[in-house]
Structure 1
Amino acid sequence: MRRVDSVPRPDWRARLDEVGFSFYDMESEGGRPYWNESAAYAFRLEEIERIEAATKELFDRCMDAVEHIVRKRRYAEFGIPTPFHDLVGESWDEDDPTVYGRFDLAYDGDRAIKLLEFNADTPTSLVETAAAQWQWLAESRGEGADQFNSLHEQLIEQWQHIRTSRWGLPDGARLHLASLHDSGDGELIVEDFDTVAYMAETAEAAGFDTKLVFVEDIKWQTDEARFVDADGEPIRHIFKLYPWEWMVTEQFGGFLLRSREATRWVEPAWKLLLSNKQLLVVLWELFPDHPNLLPAFATAEPFRRRPYVSKPRLGREGANVTVFDGSGFPIAENGGGYGDEGFIYQARARFAPIRGKTAIVGSWIVGETPAGIDLRETSGPITGDLAEFVPHFIEDSP
């Protein structure tokens, strides 16, 4: 893997607008735009094949971990409220379908590929990965250029599989898709809206009749004991870009227990066990010394004289992450509003020696199949909300 210079397209903003990616100017480090096509990451095919194999291996081990957690009823470790323990177990036992997820991986540019975390419930950077960087590849690298990216096609296939084989729905069946409108300031959360709109595009191609709604507008109809949208239409099948850990603690959370048969959610409730970083502790417990895992524990005690990282169990975008050196001294930290739920402690990973950059590989899974990668980079050791998105391509030789 190497980072190379690339000449931005003169009309790149207009071109990105055309694929439904509009938040490219979101501020990143140094005030630069979030989307950065003045550089690109080049991979050899052999590297891509190893990342793909590691992604499939990690997904399979995560499924083993969920089975273990459900059978042993270890829900309390994940902070799941007691009334929802059975909901999670039933969701797993009934094999509620999943559409997608994204592993964040540390790749050292040589052989080591290590799991940092699994964004299994509400992963973003979808539209820029699936659509924007594919457009960039075709227009910047020329005919015959390649990229590890089959996200769009696989999402359509997975939605079609869910509609026909899992839910038994006819062509034209309604699918609601929900995102949070704002964070209390009245301003649309454009990143979430664009992500859900893109997901709706893939679901429509799979035969669904889609309807975009906002989470704030979902209501509970008491007489009928069901969720409805702002127009009063029953919500029977819904994709939500909204975390389960928020849903189960909010006012309407209790209605989830009463509406299990009336409303089918994607992602499903069992994803509560994968979107929580306590998963990393369980994975290391079940598969110690696995080549794709980093040592992870519920306390920092095992890391005496070893560099490590503390992470809140439910943190996002690097918030409240602290990096410690071998003496236990903090050398980098991010602020944020997480941590009340507790922390896990993970060995510090090695990254590829890219001068002045720390690059994280986001490796996507659709259904049970690896589907592509994205690259986000920062100048420091913690990848937070100021990271830049940089496209990638596959080259034949260094």
Structure 2
Amino acid sequence: MNTFRQERQRFFENIEGFWHDLFNTEYALYDVKKETTAGINRIRQAAERIGHILFKAAPLLRQLDEETLLQLGFPKPALSFIRLQTLPFESVIARLDLAVTADEIKLLEVNSDTPTFIKETFSVNGEVCKAFGLINPNETCAKELREAIQLALKMALQSLGKREAHRRSPSIVFSSHNDHEEDRLTTKYLQELAGLPSQYLGLSQLRLVPESITENGQILIEKGLYDSHGEKIDVLYRQTYPIEHLVEDEDPATKEKVGQLLLKLVEEKELAIINPPSAFLLQSKAVMALIWGLHEEEHAFFTAEEHEWIHSYFLPTYLDEDYFLEQEISYVKKPSFGREGDTVEIFSGSGEKVAEDAHKTYQDSLPVYQQFIKLPKTVIQTVNGSKNAHYMYGCFYINGQASAIGIRAGRQITDNEAYFLPVGIDIEEENK
């Protein structure tokens, strides 16, 4: 084992509850990309403006008719659910994926519903910066995230109404697929950060009672979601459990659509979930096509300043590829609800496919077509030596505020094999 490999292993083994390797492959780099304070501020300013545009679009989306929502790729079983607004902010934890160069910052996509990459940026980034003697640009972000989670949980409980008045203490459950290390540890990190009485349970440990069970006119068991002790759950924090998967989930024995029954409990205020329903509303990449369409029309829905922001930070995005073929512009075909680069394809301006992701999980998802932008490249240090890699910034948007920043480095199509590359600021270098 080489010295660098040993040093990296020793360092990350001291960080509790972190997956520095995934599937026996290097994930977290023992390396830092240096940024300037001005560069970090520039990314956060872009994120603030992009987030503002997205959150402004959400009420408009809630007003769309059923047919239009279906045309935007939303699954039919979720339509009544996504119109709910249970919290005053559209998403508690969202992540904006950005291509950042010296000349421009462009939004590639938004994960407003179930973003991961949280512990890496809010916690581990600071540990790596400390080891390299650099300033952590995310220094205050964990505190902001804690406050945002606590506020969201408080408001989620309030949204349930009078039912909570008689309860001594609310039941809060953080849940994920228990057999997925990254999902489990991400969810447990959020639970720990929240610092409130709660429990972690795997999704398989939850029990759903879709209708109250009665005997002789007396309610024996209220309808609701229950934990493994038989206690009714008030708030389910499902950070890594996507709604588009949930609506298709069924009980293997009864074939009941348990995911849809769970969403019905949310509609009936028997359960609150975080991220809230509105976060899923912004998850579809077709929303970017809607925003771009309004911008091209110079629609009065957006102010002149907001149109400038869309022009600056959004890429031309459509529900077909005609514009790109007519203009002979390279473009990317993405599934509206895809994740981790899965099913993404890159085409030349003549319509020839030039690159694609090997995974095809989301082939049935409505495709969107977005102007291609080449990700910048940098040199990264891995256990197998130096490598050239494309990189993409992720900037979190927490309760409507730009927050922690991190980098994923890998191929032009950023997939689930991309590395986590920490970010740090060298104050001495800035002061020279």
The alpha carbon displacement at 1:12 in A equals: 4.2
Distance in structure 2 (CA, Å) of the matches to 1:21 and 1:12: 16
Match of 1:54 in 2: 46
Instruction: Say yes or no: does 1:146 pair with 2:136.
Output: yes
Distance in structure 2 (CA, Å) of the matches to 1:340 and 1:179: 25
Distance in structure 2 (CA, Å) of the matches to 1:227 and 1:308: 44
Instruction: Say yes or no: does 1:252 pair with 2:258.
Output: yes
Q: Report the residue type matching 2:424 in the other structure.
A: F
Match of 2:285 in 1: 277
Cα separation, partners in 2 of 1:394 and 1:341, compared to 1, 3 Å: same
| Counterpart selection for 1:160 from 138, 142, 150 | 150
Distance in structure 1 (CA, Å) of the matches to 2:32 and 2:122: 16
Q: What SS is found at the alignment partner of 1:290?
A: helix
The alpha carbon displacement at 1:179 in A equals: 0.3
Match of 2:422 in 1: 391
Instruction: Say yes or no: does 1:342 pair with 2:361.
Output: no
Instruction: Say yes or no: does 1:126 pair with 2:112.
Output: no
Instruction: Say yes or no: does 1:99 pair with 2:131.
Output: no
Q: What SS is found at the alignment partner of 1:103?
A: strand
Query: 1:199-239 CA distances to partner (integer Å, 9 max, x unpaired)?
Result: 101111xxx21211111222212422111122222111110
Contact 2:141 2:403 in 1 (8 A): yes
Contact 2:123 2:142 in 1 (8 A): yes
Contact 1:107 1:114 in 2 (8 A): yes
Distance in structure 1 (CA, Å) of the matches to 2:266 and 2:337: 25
The alpha carbon displacement at 1:258 in A equals: 3.8
Query: 1:223-275 CA distances to partner (integer Å, 9 max, x unpaired)?
Result: 22111122222111110020011122331133222443110000111222222
Q: What SS is found at the alignment partner of 2:32?
A: strand
Q: Report the residue type matching 2:336 in the other structure.
A: R
Distance in structure 1 (CA, Å) of the matches to 2:4 and 2:42: 29
Contact 1:148 1:371 in 2 (8 A): yes
Match of 2:394 in 1: 362
Name stretches of at least 5 consecutive residues in structure 2 with no aligned partner.
159-163, 214-221, 250-256, 297-309, 380-387
Q: What SS is found at the alignment partner of 2:96?
A: strand
Contact 2:92 2:276 in 1 (8 A): no
The alpha carbon displacement at 1:104 in A equals: 0.6
Contact 1:309 1:324 in 2 (8 A): yes
Cα separation, partners in 2 of 1:48 and 1:9, compared to 1, 3 Å: farther
Distance in structure 2 (CA, Å) of the matches to 1:165 and 1:79: 29
Name stretches of at least 5 consecutive residues in structure 1 with no aligned partner.
1-6, 182-187
Instruction: Say yes or no: does 1:220 pair with 2:208.
Output: yes
Q: Report the residue type matching 1:115 in the other structure.
A: L
The alpha carbon displacement at 1:372 in A equals: 1.3
| Counterpart selection for 2:344 from 304, 310, 321 | 321
Cα separation, partners in 2 of 1:353 and 1:214, compared to 1, 3 Å: closer
Number of positions where the alignment pairs a residue of Structure 1 with one of Structure 2: 374
Match of 1:230 in 2: 228
Contact 2:377 2:391 in 1 (8 A): no
Cα separation, partners in 2 of 1:376 and 1:63, compared to 1, 3 Å: same
Contact 1:107 1:350 in 2 (8 A): no
TM-score between the two structures when normalised by the length of structure 2 = 0.80
| Counterpart selection for 1:35 from 28, 38, 52 | 28
Query: 1:129-171 CA distances to partner (integer Å, 9 max, x unpaired)?
Result: 11111111112215xx232453311111112223445635899
Query: 1:267-307 CA distances to partner (integer Å, 9 max, x unpaired)?
Result: 11122222221122112112346200000000111102111
Match of 2:375 in 1: 351
Distance in structure 2 (CA, Å) of the matches to 1:45 and 1:64: 29
Distance in structure 1 (CA, Å) of the matches to 2:90 and 2:289: 25
Match of 1:193 in 2: 184
Q: Report the residue type matching 1:150 in the other structure.
A: T
Q: What SS is found at the alignment partner of 1:91?
A: coil
Q: In angstroms, what is the RMSD of aligned CA positions? A: 2.4
TM-score between the two structures when normalised by the length of structure 1 = 0.87
The alpha carbon displacement at 1:9 in A equals: 9.1
Match of 1:185 in 2: none
The alpha carbon displacement at 1:47 in A equals: 1.2
Match of 2:314 in 1: 293
Contact 1:175 1:237 in 2 (8 A): yes
% identical aligned pairs: 23
Cα separation, partners in 2 of 1:61 and 1:171, compared to 1, 3 Å: farther
Cα separation, partners in 2 of 1:166 and 1:220, compared to 1, 3 Å: closer
Distance in structure 2 (CA, Å) of the matches to 1:96 and 1:229: 27
Contact 1:324 1:330 in 2 (8 A): yes
